[in-house]
């Protein structure tokens, strides 16, 4: 049996950018997110319905890429259990103060070297009056500006060894492996894992360059597929680079759009419709090379850059 619900959900992520101001403008003007703090070197932004303090920390850096990914434990006990296990596995960097709004955070690395944090304490976001929603079951006023993403959806890491990272998420953190790409030689080219009823929260796909610690993309959820079509139109008007989509993935059946933020990081907008993974004993779906050769759900071939572009660029950290 799987470990079960030790991690509640993916929470806040640090995204590195060599052009902080431009990146902030992208997240605010294009995605419709809200700045809730920061300084000259980092800016906290949030999606309107994330219930915690912030969704991303945009960090000024020499290159693009991903910093720490933070996960919220499902209870104080679950946090204690995971810390003990991670310390036993020798991956711990120890406790740190959390970001503003977040409590003490236990920091560790996945086998590929991506930094993760696990915490329990979290202040509920308390909007200022001008950001207060009309309906009290929503974290913040719907912005009605740009894409207006609802919440962080998932992170997709590049990894030199997908299997090792998958096993780590599954065995140390209790992730459920919902779908995979299994190559003809039996190796795993991609793995989709979840802590929730969403089809996936954290993904590893193989880094063809063999580099470690890189990011493929982070994704935000919109309410409808129409929001994603509209996002493509707004991207076109605002000069945001569209890499691929809108289209539908065969894997997980996600309706998607991929764009690059000005720092170079790939950003996905995604919508899963009403699809959820409810089976506690969900059997992993394995996609073969032959099946992947059919392209995306409706037959579109995957664009080449999707297999090559990661951040930071290779040799640039």
The residues in 247-276 that bind a second copy, with binding defined as CB under 8 A, are 247-248, 250-253, 255, 271-276
Name which of residues 8 to 27 contact a second copy (CB under 8 A): 8-9
User: Of 131 and 314, which CB lies nearer to a second copy in the complex structure?
Assistant: 131
Residues numbered 118-137 forming contacts with a second copy, rule: CB under 8 A? 124, 133-137
Long-range contact pairs involving 302-310 (C-beta distance under 8 Å, separation at least 24):
302/244, 303/243, 303/244, 305/243, 305/244, 306/243, 306/244, 306/258, 307/208, 308/208, 309/243, 309/266, 310/158, 310/207, 310/209, 310/211, 310/214, 310/215, 310/216, 310/266
Draw the binding track, 181-220, toward a second copy (x: CB under 8 A; -: no contact).
Answer: ---------------xxxx---------------------
Determine which residue in the list 66, 175, 235, 267 makes contact with a second copy, applying CB under 8 A. 235
Tokens of 3: 């470990």
Among 117, 159, 245, 310, binds a second copy (CB under 8 A): 245
155 upstream amide cis, omega within 30 of 0: no
The stretch among 20-28, 81-89, 109-117, 237-245 that binds a second copy (CB under 8 A) is 237-245
Residues 287-306 within binding reach of a second copy (CB under 8 A): 287, 291, 297-300
| Cβ distance to a second copy smaller for residue 85 or 131 | 131
Residue 297: closest CA among 259, 245, 258? 245
Please say which residue, 113 or 143, places its beta carbon nearer to a second copy: 143
Closer residue to a second copy in complex, CB, 42/142 = 142
- Does a cis peptide bond (omega within 30 degrees of 0) precede residue 312? yes
Nearer to a second copy, 62 or 286 (CB): 286
Asked whether position 159 contacts a second copy by CB under 8 A, the answer is no
Binding positions for a second copy, 79-118, rule CB under 8 A? none
Q: Which pairs from 86-91 meet CB under 8 Å and 24+ separation?
A: 86/118, 86/172, 89/172, 91/168, 91/172
Rounded Cα distance between 109 and 86, Å, is 9
Binding residues for a second copy restricted to 215-234, rule: CB under 8 A? 221-227, 229-230, 232-234
**Could you count the other beta carbons within 10 Å of the beta carbon of residue 80?**
13
Nearest to 114 by CA among 262, 258, 42, 14: 14
| Selected binder of a second copy within 42, 91, 145, 170 (CB under 8 A) | 145
Select from 242, 292, 306, 314 the one that contacts a second copy (CB under 8 A): 242
* Identified binder of a second copy from the candidate list 126, 171, 236, 289, rule CB under 8 A: 236
- From CA 205, how far away is CA 192, in angstroms rounded? 9
């Amino acid at each position: 049996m799987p470990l079960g619900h030790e991690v509640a959900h993916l929470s806040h992520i640090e995204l590195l950018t060599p052009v902080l101001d431009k990146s902030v403008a992208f997240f605010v003007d294009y995605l419709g997110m809200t700045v809730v703090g920061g300084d000259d070197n980092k800016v906290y932004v949030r999606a309107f319905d994330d219930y915690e303090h912030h969704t991303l920390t945009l960090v000024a850096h020499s290159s693009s890429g991903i910093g720490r990914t933070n996960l919220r434990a499902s209870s104080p006990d679950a946090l204690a259990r995971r810390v003990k296990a991670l310390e036993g596995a020798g991956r711990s960097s120890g406790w740190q103060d959390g970001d503003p709004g977040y409590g003490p955070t236990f920091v560790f690395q996945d086998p590929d070297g991506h930094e993760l944090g696990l915490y329990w304490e979290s202040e509920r976001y308390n909007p200022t009056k001008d950001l207060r929603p009309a309906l009290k079951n929503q974290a913040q006023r719907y912005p009605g500006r740009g894409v207006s993403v609802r919440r962080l959806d998932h992170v997709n890491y590049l990894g030199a060894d997908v299997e090792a990272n998958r096993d780590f998420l599954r065995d140390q953190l209790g992730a459920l492996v919902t779908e995979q790409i299994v190559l003809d030689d039996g190796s795993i080219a991609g793995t989709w894992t979840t802590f929730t009823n969403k089809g996936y929260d954290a993904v590893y796909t193989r880094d063809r360059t063999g580099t470690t610690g890189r990011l493929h993309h982070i994704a935000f959820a919109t309410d409808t597929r129409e929001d994603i079509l509209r996002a493509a139109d707004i991207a076109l008007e605002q000069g945001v680079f569209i890499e691929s989509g809108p289209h539908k993935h065969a894997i997980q059946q996600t309706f998607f759009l991929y764009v690059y933020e000005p720092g170079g990081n790939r950003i996905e907008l995604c919508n899963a419709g009403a699809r959820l993974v409810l089976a506690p004993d969900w059997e992993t779906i394995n996609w073969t090379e032959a099946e992947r050769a059919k392209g995306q759900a409706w037959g579109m071939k995957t664009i080449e850059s999707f297999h090559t572009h990661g951040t930071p660029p290779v040799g640039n950290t």
